[in-house]
Amino acid sequence: MARCRGRREAAERRTIAALYPPGEPPAPAEPPSAGPPDDDGLAAEPQASSEQELPDEGIQRVASAQLTGASPVLAVGDFSGGDSEPQDSPVQGAHGDVAQSATSRGVARNTAIFSIGTGVSRVVGLGREIVFASYFGTTGPASAFTIAYLVPNLVANLFANAALSAAFVPVFTDLLQQGRKKDAVRLASTLFWIMLIGLGAISAFFILAAGTIMPLFIGPTFSSALNALTVGLSQVLFPVVLLLGLTGLLTGILQSYDEFTIPAIMPAVWNVVIIVLLVVLAPRFHGYDRVYAYAIGILAATGVQLALAFGALGRIDFRLRFSIDWHDPRIRQVFMLMLPVTIGLGIVNLDQLINSAFGSLVSDEAPRAIDNAFRIYMLPQGVFSVAVATVLFPVLSRLAARRDPGGMRRTLGTGMRQINLLLIPAAAFMIVLATPITRLVFERGEFNAQSTRLVSEALFWFAFSLPFAGINLLLTRTFFALQRPWIPTKLAAMNIVVDIIVSVALYKPLGIAGLVIGTVVANAVMTALQLRRLRIGFNGRLEGGETTMITARIAVASVLLGGVSWAVWYALEAVLGTSLAAQIISMGAAGAAGVWIYTRAVLTMHIPEAHQVNRLIRARLGRA
């Protein structure tokens, strides 16, 4: 028995070793604790939650966030496993309890600020999309804008924006924690001027070369006037690359100083400025040129964001210096940290650009129709799968640091089942009610019944991709927790190749549907490849049987949700008609009926994750 256990422990350690970078062998096994061994033969650690409890902890955080609207973010102490002082705590030694209390209050305050800011931004952002659709529908100018915006957006994500912030903040914060503010200021100042010069040059190049670059992304269905419009719009929008890069750097500085208010409200201000300028400027343009009002609004709103970030630096008494230290090794460190994130973000945005570019091979309406469908498709993705992945990422990172493959396997399995529990029914609802959803959200003004038909066709097929995309997000975070970011990056590159091959094969016979099916197939292949790679690392053990069985039950319950939702909507629409109020009532009733039958079904079928959420809801209602 002891020999068998020893072999199993050695296999578990080889599991993590197989997933870690070369030259970083797993840490030696922890000495046995006084507690009994767990199911994998690994001794339980004192002063820590058991591995079986970790997934439940994550599930409760996700469910709590979805019930209350709070951000499902773990405290710094959760990420570190409780072995070190939280980074944002200025107090050490005998004042540790005070520091921990202050940190907890700070995390709660920042979570509330970001939750409110994110909620307001999502509402105003949806309003921005609705206003744009009412002005331009899925017309040629709207498609021209879509392509003209996606190219600068891709460049911004390659060279700046989130990638820079993700790489800069850890290095900058580490200097602040060491009390080296002068070095931190020098690092930030050097990066600011390097980005101003570099991104300014890149923006200028693309502005001058737009007439050559943009036609590469435009199909034969665009007229010469639409081609010229696309080029002109891109020239207005390319300065956004520079503005976003500088804003991302300043936002990172603010967040490192625990200043979250301005960064939280900036996206909402961005959306409001765009809406106001569109409404004010659109009447001053005529014909195709009216869409320039929207492009000018985006450029101006991005400038306002940068101004807000600059103004907020005064609140933390931080002043950039006019100096460039080319020899600072931390500059190279930041750019090296940026590389895998840059490639990952670039691939995601490239996939969206591919859909729009190939859409111009179908018709001059297809690029905008696909983009509108993508916006609706991303709503449940942002609410559910991002929440699960965000919550479980620190848990997975802690388990990886412990070299605990058993705990990682259980946490990952629970996370996948939780994502399926939430996204498969959302996909079913989209599939059966794609047209009513599109009509309710967009159909007004220039967005007519033809636009609804095109967008709902794309949304129907996007819905099949929803669970795969959600699981991919969690699997990618798992590789990041294991400090192997290049594995999902390489797989994502293969994903792009699959998308292109399928899209090229299907766009002629199937039109818009063929392009979105390319995305569905690519996401499914990506899920299979990531699971295969993780299964190899975990010696073929990834709770696949349990996840498959529970997913099958979820699928059955989702079919019930889809059927009941469609029946309720159909009956109410026949009685009430299609006025805006009638659509709200019929869709609301359909959603409520579907959720009720789905909830009863998953609880009856004894799906553990569903019962965990149900217990949390009952506990909260009881406290209320």
Per-residue confidence (pLDDT) for residue 468, from 0 to 100: 93
Which of 147, 254, 253, 240 has its CA nearest to residue 200?
240
Per-residue confidence (pLDDT) for residue 616, from 0 to 100: 67
Q: For residue 213, how far is the Cα from the chain centroid?
A: 28
Spatial separation of the C-alpha atoms in residues 254 and 128, rounded to whole Å: 27
Per-residue confidence (pLDDT) for residue 569, from 0 to 100: 96
Per-residue confidence (pLDDT) for residue 188, from 0 to 100: 81
Per-residue confidence (pLDDT) for residue 73, from 0 to 100: 35
Length of the chain: 624
Find the radius of gyration of the CA atoms of the chain. 25
Per-residue confidence (pLDDT) for residue 7, from 0 to 100: 55
Q: Contacts for 444-450 with beta carbons within 8 Å, 24 or more apart?
A: 444/130, 444/133, 444/134, 445/133, 445/134, 445/135, 445/137, 446/133, 446/134, 446/135, 446/136, 446/137, 446/139, 447/133, 447/134, 447/137, 447/138, 448/137, 450/138, 450/365
Per-residue confidence (pLDDT) for residue 65, from 0 to 100: 39
Other Cβ atoms less than 10 A from the Cβ of 536: the count is: 13
Which of 454, 387, 437 has its CA nearest to residue 415?
387
Per-residue confidence (pLDDT) for residue 15, from 0 to 100: 47
Could you tell me the mean pLDDT of each successive run of 10 residues in the chain, 624 residues long? Answer: 53 48 38 34 34 39 38 32 34 41 50 62 85 93 92 78 66 77 82 88 93 90 92 94 88 77 84 95 92 96 92 79 75 74 68 83 90 88 71 73 80 86 94 95 92 95 93 84 78 87 92 92 92 80 80 94 96 92 95 94 86 70 56
Reported pTM: 0.75
Spatial separation of the C-alpha atoms in residues 47 and 199, rounded to whole Å: 49
